[in-house]
Amino acid sequence: MRHTDFDLEPFRQASDARGAWQVVTTLTPVAALWSVVAWLGRAGLALPGLVVSLLPVLALLVLFSARTFSLMHDCGHNALFRSRWLNRLVGFLFGVINAIPQHPWSRGHAFHHRHNGNWERYQGPSALVTLARYQALSPRQRWWYGVLRQPLMLLPGGFFYLVIKPRLALLLGSGEFILSLARRFGEAFSARGWRALAALPALVRDHRSSHWYTSGELADLIANNVLVLASWLAMAHWLGAGLFWSTYALVMGCSAAIFICIFFVQHNFADTYAHGSADWNPLSGAVEGSSNLELPALLHWFSADIGFHSIHHLCERIPNYRLRACHERNAHLLSGARRLRLADIPGCFAYILWDDTNQRLTTLAEAEASMVTVAVAGA
């Protein structure tokens, strides 16, 4: 099978009208739901009544927030709209809503697309290690490795990923820049005296941060942080700090947990394509290294049809609103792609080790069993 066997080209064309409609039909309910939160907060309800009244609103906010992330993902692939600038603008807006800088995130996500199925280059959202490296860890380290990759960690991990990590990246990156500049300027001053001032622009330009890779990423990180912090202040003023943060933390944590979960199970499953660089095949990575989620129609809508994931990896420029049709057109070529139902999702979280010798993902239980076998054989 070759990439040219797939009929993809007719589905690549984005529609500004359909993209705009998706934005409107996503952001309007989000605004309306936050207005309902404000109304309930002013209704004078006792705490138990307020909590019960908020539950359905929170559930809808979580789903719509997950959809805003999916649409931001489309913008990062320049797929939601025809023009690059419109994808960039709307993607940035969705990044503010999701509290994550869209441009750096999309560049990192593009790395995943370039190396999907090559577990030597990209180890997934859980930063998997090889079986051999895991077995070399101490018992306590192995225990922590498993704990940090439990599904229950999706909620706190999701909250950290959206709400804390981008703020921390700017703070740590700024501190790193100041310390690096002071050190390098000090070295230049020791050698050249005040003439070292002339080298300042070059010292600034040549700085390499471990928290961003380009000046464009830095600009997006700064702009996102400024607008996100401003929105937090405005929302806290409107709703009251207690109501806003209790609602916002739950919504962000749960919506992040949903899309991290979806992203995880679309590549971590039994018999997924898991090769190293030497014999990695991009086509096999797209088809055999990506699962296709069979979801209820409503969940397909909220996830912007990202469940048709093999097609998405075969051509990332196909807009979400054409993925289903493209999948159906090429279904006869996707027999090697794994199909997952909701009931299959929990089992995927067991596959958190890469067995690079046998080129497959494996489980902690299998790893521990093999260690026992080796120990018994050596006794």
What is the domain partition of the chain in residue ranges? Answer: 3-116+151-158+237-343
* Other beta carbons less than 10 A from residue 231's beta carbon: 14
360 Cβ contact list (under 8 Å, min separation 6):
271, 272, 274, 354
* Other beta carbons less than 10 A from residue 82's beta carbon: 14
Contact criterion met (CB below 8 Å) for 294 and 309: no
- H or E element: which one contains 77? none
pLDDT tens, 308-328? 999 999 999 999 999 999 999
**One-letter-per-residue 3-state SS of 172-241:** HHHHHHHHHHHHHHHHHHHHHHHHHHHHHHHHHHCCCCCCCCCHHHHHHHHHHHHHHHHHHHHHHHHHCH
Looking at per-residue pLDDT, the higher value among 14 and 188 belongs to 14
Mean pLDDT, residues 176-191: 84
The pLDDT, as a whole number, for residue 15 is 96
pLDDT class of 17 with cuts at 50, 70, 90: very high
**Angle of CA points 71, 86, 216, to nearest 5°:** 90
Q: Is the pLDDT of residue 145 over 80?
A: yes
The pLDDT, as a whole number, for residue 372 is 63
The pLDDT, as a whole number, for residue 204 is 80
pLDDT tens, 189-248? 788 887 778 877 887 888 888 888 888 999 999 999 999 999 999 999 999 999 999 999
Q: What is the pTM of this model?
A: 0.91
Mean pLDDT, residues 21-34: 98
Contact criterion met (CB below 8 Å) for 99 and 162: yes
CA distance 138 to 372: 14
